[in-house]
Structure 1
Amino acid sequence: MSKRQLYIGLMSGTSADGIDAALVDMQTFPTLIASHNTPFTEELRKKIHAIALPGDNEIDRMGVLDVELARLFATCSLDLIKKIGIDHNEIIAIGSHGQTIRHRPPGSPEGCFTLQIGDPNIIAELTGITTIADFRRRDMAASGQGAPLVPAFHNAIFHNPGKDRVIANIGGMANITWLPASGTVCGFDTGPGNVLMDLWMQESQGKSYDADGKWAASGKVSTELVDLLLQETFFTLPPPKSTGRESFNRAWLGNRLKKLAHELDACDIQASLLELTAMSISNSITQLSDAPKEVLVCGGGAFNKRLMQRLKDLLPGCTLDTTAKLGIDPQWIEAMAFAWLAHQTINHRPGNLCAVTGAKREVILGGVYFAR
């Protein structure tokens, strides 16, 4: 029997609710062996959200947070290894996405750059495992958006030559991957996923998220508010395109709430934010092709029953399910993707898709931080 090729993927997304770690065997086909989640404290989540927007003393705050997060990434990896009872020397490499604190894609007036923290030097030192990190910047150096990166992984594990398929990844932000039965793969960010719903839930209800979308379901959608939100220029931009909390945040929402003719109940705002997510995703999917297609959802949004129902309503010509239909838990897809990207890097293979990011060529992503 061939020896397993084990990699760990680490993912902390825009929602900043914790670290997802996936142990993946890359020997023949990416196979999830085990998974683990390390939640962030409310204090840490607030620090991450605060540093994601311009503010005072940013460099010092970023430096401290860079170390704190790296130690948590390392601990999460070691906890996963302990959980399954293997030796760390069996792991070829860790692929760490890091925590994005600023993403300015090409065309941003502030300049073009991206920044993820969670120092890979510390991860490699504390775990004793070679660590791959800083995946986005090489794509941007090749004139790409630096995101989304997961469509290349989606293509590797979900492409089906017998049917057209869309993968909708709904995290803090949402992105889709178009996997035609034959033809060019493409993908792009569609806009906010859970980010606006989560921040409004936190502000209005003191909870980190709206379980099953129940609070949103109790409200009434304001077409006036949804129309205002959909006027954002990003939604009309052609792909390739990417976005983040820099564009869709509390201040952005507040400016639009001020334009309403009448004040809305808090639950109606939540219902409208869910509708924004559903419409921006469904509009993007329907623009890809008029042909019937299978839509598979992953990310935290896959567990929002109200959101899933609205997507079904808005995509009547499609069959909609989660990636669990294919035997892969939707919660772990992104973490698995960074294990796969680490495998690509270690084997000197490109990790980006030019049709997705807009890069002028395929490149090997990430920096390698060797184990002691």
Structure 2
Amino acid sequence: MPNAIEQAAQRPLYIGLMSGTSLDGVDGVIVDFSQRTQVILHAGCSFDSSLRAELLALNSTGGSDELHRAALAANAVARHYAQVVQQLLRASGLRAGQIAAIGAHGQTVRHRPQMFDGTGYTLQLNSPALLAELTGISVVADLRSRDVAAGGQGAPLVPAFHQSVFGKPGETALVLNIGGIANLSVLEADGSVLGFDTGTGNALLDGWCLRHTGQPYDACGQWAAGGQILPQLLAAMLADPYLAQTPPKSTGRDLFHADWLEQHLQRHASQAAPVDVQATLTEFTAASCADAVQRFGKGGSELLVCGGGAFNTYLMQRLAALLPGVQVGSTAQRSLPPLEVEAAAFAWLARQCLLGLPGNLASVTGARGPRILGAIYPA
């Protein structure tokens, strides 16, 4: 007799939840895997300003009472996740029992997979037990740590999903996710996959915009488009050693944070107008992504962009200008809107876990081999 988890794994419907480095909130999707990967509904909610500020503070070292604060923040994240799940169920008319599992990534607050002594860790705040209790649905969480334990980066995990959805036999496909951090998937014509974090995406852009305009992000890149790029500042940022590293590699706010930017500003642009800094940060994101495509994505003639950066018109224009000969567009061209891709990937990872199948690619993360990712919290 199959157990409850084995029975659930055979259901075609999964929910994926994603709250990324941008710290703007939660995206959730219901995905039907019965024939092909098909998102049937999307919902989301924003983080309130106090939770966003606390998550950002917990990404930095040196705070007081961190364990208590992190536990409370994890519960708050899980309650936001549950809110999105209930939105999805109400809007779809589905019952909790019709969903096989929820893939819940958690909110990354530290990502240090390779420490100096050869060990490392990655930490996502989440309370999957609470989420299972609130929704009545099994939860698959802790999706990165097994890969790190196997010597991998634990990120990015989405290239395996990108391959299943966007890969084309005999063609090289390129997928760029621009969230808080940007990552590139190179889906080779022979079926092999390369993926890595290219550097910062929206994290520095959003932080600078909030600081100087009060807005959480630069809508369509309109503010940046009115500024002038500062060549010396741009060159200094592009000289960061991370960008020159070869994959496998991953990064996060542990490197690209407000103090990192402030140090560059003090040295190279102390009197710069805020709008010019925004223009330069936008160019930094575009240039670091374009360099990654040129170095590792040779043979790809189309770049599909997902994540919030796909809606930054100025950023997309700069990407296209820096990649002549490459058609730059969004994943919506392949019937998967930009804000649904990452959440759908975590639904796919939950399914892989329940089916006992690997979720990582050693060619991407550098792990010693394929591993089943995630811990299961039954309903």
Tell me the TM-score normalised to structure 2 length: 0.95
Deviation at 1:75, TM superposition (A): 1.9
Partner Cα separation in structure 2 for residue 357 and residue 231 of structure 1:
24
Deviation at 1:163, TM superposition (A): 2.2
Aligned to 2:55: 48
Partner Cα separation in structure 1 for residue 78 and residue 299 of structure 2:
45
Deviation at 1:111, TM superposition (A): 5.6
Say what the alpha-carbon RMSD is for the aligned residues: 1.4
Counterpart amino acid of residue 151 in structure 1: P
Unaligned 5+ residue runs, structure 1?
none
CA distance 1:246–1:90, change in 2 (3 Å):
same
Counterpart amino acid of residue 75 in structure 1: Q
Aligned to 1:211: 219
Partner Cα separation in structure 1 for residue 84 and residue 269 of structure 2:
48
Query: What do residues 169-206 of structure 1 show as CA deviations (whole Å, max 9, x unaligned)?
Result: 00000000001222421000000000000000011111
Partner Cα separation in structure 2 for residue 117 and residue 110 of structure 1:
24
Aligned to 2:3: none
Aligned to 1:283: 291
Are the counterparts in 1 of residues 196 and 365 from structure 2 also a CA contact under 8 Å? yes
Counterpart amino acid of residue 55 in structure 2: I
Query: For residues 69-148 of structure 1, what are the structure 2 equivalents within 5 Å?
Result: 69-107=77-115, 112-148=120-156
Counterpart amino acid of residue 32 in structure 2: D
Query: What do residues 193-241 of structure 1 show as CA deviations (whole Å, max 9, x unaligned)?
Result: 0000000001111110000000000000001001111121111111000
Partner Cα separation in structure 1 for residue 171 and residue 301 of structure 2:
7
Partner Cα separation in structure 2 for residue 137 and residue 145 of structure 1:
9
Partner Cα separation in structure 1 for residue 299 and residue 140 of structure 2:
39
Query: For residues 144-183 of structure 1, what are the structure 2 equivalents within 5 Å?
Result: 144-183=152-191
> Which stretches of structure 1, 4 residues or longer, exceed 6 Å deviation after superposition?
none
Are the counterparts in 1 of residues 169 and 191 from structure 2 also a CA contact under 8 Å? no
CA distance 1:292–1:69, change in 2 (3 Å):
closer
Which has the higher mean CA deviation after the structures are superposed, 214-223 or 64-73? 64-73
CA distance 1:207–1:111, change in 2 (3 Å):
farther
Counterpart amino acid of residue 255 in structure 1: Q
Are the counterparts in 2 of residues 51 and 101 from structure 1 also a CA contact under 8 Å? yes
Are the counterparts in 1 of residues 186 and 297 from structure 2 also a CA contact under 8 Å? no
Partner Cα separation in structure 2 for residue 126 and residue 174 of structure 1:
32
Aligned to 1:349: 357
Q: Equivalent residue of 1:37, what SS?
A: strand
Aligned to 2:204: 196
Counterpart amino acid of residue 31 in structure 2: V
Partner Cα separation in structure 2 for residue 265 and residue 62 of structure 1:
36
Deviation at 1:107, TM superposition (A): 3.8
Q: Equivalent residue of 2:100, what SS?
A: strand
Are the counterparts in 1 of residues 11 and 99 from structure 2 also a CA contact under 8 Å? no
Query: For residues 167-316 of structure 1, what are the structure 2 equivalents within 5 Å?
Result: 167-260=175-268, 263-316=271-324
Are the counterparts in 2 of residues 170 and 301 from structure 1 also a CA contact under 8 Å? yes
Partner Cα separation in structure 1 for residue 228 and residue 89 of structure 2:
46
CA distance 1:113–1:259, change in 2 (3 Å):
same
Partner Cα separation in structure 2 for residue 168 and residue 123 of structure 1:
30
Counterpart amino acid of residue 149 in structure 1: L
Partner Cα separation in structure 1 for residue 331 and residue 70 of structure 2:
35
Counterpart amino acid of residue 99 in structure 1: Q
Counterpart amino acid of residue 135 in structure 1: L
CA distance 1:169–1:179, change in 2 (3 Å):
same
Partner Cα separation in structure 1 for residue 312 and residue 85 of structure 2:
28
Deviation at 1:162, TM superposition (A): 3.9
Partner Cα separation in structure 1 for residue 160 and residue 99 of structure 2:
22
Query: What do residues 43-100 of structure 1 show as CA deviations (whole Å, max 9, x unaligned)?
Result: 1111111111112211111011111111221121112111111111100000001111
Deviation at 1:292, TM superposition (A): 4.8
Matched, 1:23 2:30: yes
Partner Cα separation in structure 2 for residue 191 and residue 100 of structure 1:
16
Q: Equivalent residue of 2:42, what SS?
A: strand
Partner Cα separation in structure 2 for residue 169 and residue 100 of structure 1:
16
CA distance 1:204–1:131, change in 2 (3 Å):
same
CA distance 1:105–1:27, change in 2 (3 Å):
same
Deviation at 1:102, TM superposition (A): 0.7
Deviation at 1:261, TM superposition (A): 6.0
Are the counterparts in 1 of residues 233 and 269 from structure 2 also a CA contact under 8 Å? no
Partner Cα separation in structure 1 for residue 269 and residue 277 of structure 2:
14
CA distance 1:262–1:348, change in 2 (3 Å):
closer
Aligned to 1:34: 41
Aligned to 1:8: 15
Report the identity percentage. Answer: 45
Aligned to 2:6: none
Which has the higher mean CA deviation after the structures are superposed, 289-298 or 231-240? 289-298
Q: Equivalent residue of 1:258, what SS?
A: helix
